[in-house]
Structure 1
Amino acid sequence: MLMDFFRGITYVPQGFQLLTAQGLRRFVLLPIAINVLVFAGLLWWGAEWFHTLLLWLLPPAIPSEHSGMLGQLLTFLEGTIRWLLWPLFLLAAVVVMFYTFTALANLIGAPFNSLLSARVEQHATGQSPPQAPEGKAFLAESVEAIMDELRKIAYFALLGIPLLILFIIPVVQVVAPFLWGLFGAWIIALEYGDYPLGNRGIPFREQRRITHQHRLLHLGFGAGVLCLTIIPFVNLVAMPTAVIGATLLQADLRSRTTQAT
């Protein structure tokens, strides 16, 4: 039903509302803080590298080499070019950060997302998932979560290659952006649904079956999260919002299944 698509979208604002709930804040703020520090470090390193590159490409004019009008002209041109290149560097850095923030956030936040999902389920239903990760096993869970995240990235990239090819095929390329958007929403639903389902020991193949069984619901949720990731600054909280929303979605599906039986 089409209403399932719109109902799926509603889990995004529901997730957003729980970001500051008691018992969840540390799992929300810690990965965001780590991510911001990583990007700040990369930006600082990039600025230092760019400054060194400018000094190599545009070495300061030596006064003894040029004098008079020529020296003044060279100094003016050098300053003007530097003044133009720095804003371009900052713009490029912002664009790169904009498109890579979500991917890096997922990788860095992977060890925390299972814990966040478990706490959300306990908050929403009063019960923890059977295989909720414990603090003492956090290191082992972290390594496993990161490796699983890398495997999913490789899997999703492999699925996306045929869709990318559509962009260069005449006529078909007209619908390629629409198909790519659907693919993105589907992948997001699988990506974040893995945390609540993985906490229950459900393998990835079974996760895909569950997602496909309620595909419009999950597509709506994925589309809502996708919209969140393309909004500057708001995308800082896209990952925890999606984890919380996906957990609420799966909890509702289990509740509906239980009531039906």
Structure 2
Amino acid sequence: MSTPSPKNNLATGAHYYIKGINLLWRKELRLYIIAPLLINVLIFISLTSTLFHYFNSGMEWMLDFLPSFLHFLKWIVGLLVGVFLLLCYGYIFNAITNIIASPFYGILAQKTQELIAGTTPQDEPLGTLIPRVIAREIHKLIYFISRGAFVFILLFILGFMTITAPLVPVIAALWGAWCMAVQYVDYTCDNNQLAFTPMRKRLRANLYSSTGFGGMVMFASMIPIINIFAMPAAVTGGTAFWIKELQWQEES
């Protein structure tokens, strides 16, 4: 059975994302982030305008569930609801951009690996690469939806109980962090022909680093404008995570 890396901690995981941001400025990668950035800008404009249009009505609708004798807690509940809605916004933004931009992210991950480690995944024609990467994205989406359904039911139940309601954004954030780690480490794993299930096992064996990295991605994706650059940085940071902490880990 594989053992967690001694680097396995939240701070190290967060550092991989910071490294990913720094890598975006390397001239060797600039060409490969143009297309993802353009896609992100278009999705950002559409999704953010929709969020602002429905945000207030959504807040009022959710606060209507608060019992009258707890109205003095309205500002706290409003804050929790706001955080939850921002988490939903970040997750939806990621889901849409990843489906559309996944072939470009695969290429960016490959070039990042060449830059950091000097190694090159096996070459693959674009005609084979693009359908394979899109199929992998759909596989991940099915995983996120199937597991996420159980998380949603849990959050729904907890949200109706006053004593457990504050746990809702915490659990949602942890689930979002895990999803982001899976999503953005997978591009490099896919390039190196590591199957989806073994990839998740390696992330679980380095759970603290995975949570630190995924949490940073989730946080950045919740912030308008910053989230335009958050996804390419997550790809380059996820590649660094793979090279430094996951690449040589044996399977159980």
TM-score by length of 2: 0.73
Unaligned runs of 5+ in 2: 1-5, 56-84
Query: Which structure is larger by alpha-carbon Rg, 1 or 2?
Result: 1
Residues 211, 11 of structure 1: alpha-carbon distance in 2 compared, 3 angstrom cutoff: same
**1:107-151 alpha-carbon deviations (Å, 9 max, x no partner):** 11100111111111110111113x3x44xx113211221122122
Residues 158, 142 of structure 1: alpha-carbon distance in 2 compared, 3 angstrom cutoff: same
1:36 maps to which residue? Answer: 41
Aligned partners of 1:225 and 1:238 also within 8 Å: yes
C-alpha RMSD over aligned residues:
2.9
Aligned length: 209
Matched, 1:220 2:212: yes
Cα shift at 1:37: 4.2
1:4 maps to which residue? Answer: 9
Matched, 1:235 2:196: no
Matched, 1:91 2:83: no
Instruction: Give the 3-state SS of the residue equivalent to 1:202 in structure 2.
Output: coil
Q: Distance in 1 between matches of 2:155 and 2:237?
A: 32
Write the mapping of 1:11-30 to structure 2, written as runs, cut at 5 A.
11-30=16-35
Q: Distance in 2 between matches of 1:90 and 1:248?
A: 33
* Amino acid in structure 2 at the alignment position of 1:117: A
Cα shift at 1:9: 0.3
Instruction: Give the 3-state SS of the residue equivalent to 1:167 in structure 2.
Output: helix
Instruction: Give the 3-state SS of the residue equivalent to 1:168 in structure 2.
Output: helix
Residues 244, 92 of structure 1: alpha-carbon distance in 2 compared, 3 angstrom cutoff: same
**Percent of aligned positions with the same letter in both sequences?**
29
Q: Distance in 1 between matches of 2:50 and 2:166?
A: 33
Residues 207, 2 of structure 1: alpha-carbon distance in 2 compared, 3 angstrom cutoff: closer
**1:185-209 alpha-carbon deviations (Å, 9 max, x no partner):** 0111111111111111111110011
Aligned partners of 1:117 and 1:243 also within 8 Å: yes
Aligned partners of 1:32 and 1:105 also within 8 Å: no
Cα shift at 1:254: 5.2
Write the mapping of 1:38-53 to structure 2, written as runs, cut at 5 A.
none
2:179 maps to which residue? Answer: 187
2:140 maps to which residue? Answer: 152
Aligned partners of 1:166 and 1:173 also within 8 Å: no
Cα shift at 1:172: 3.9
Cα shift at 1:92: 1.6
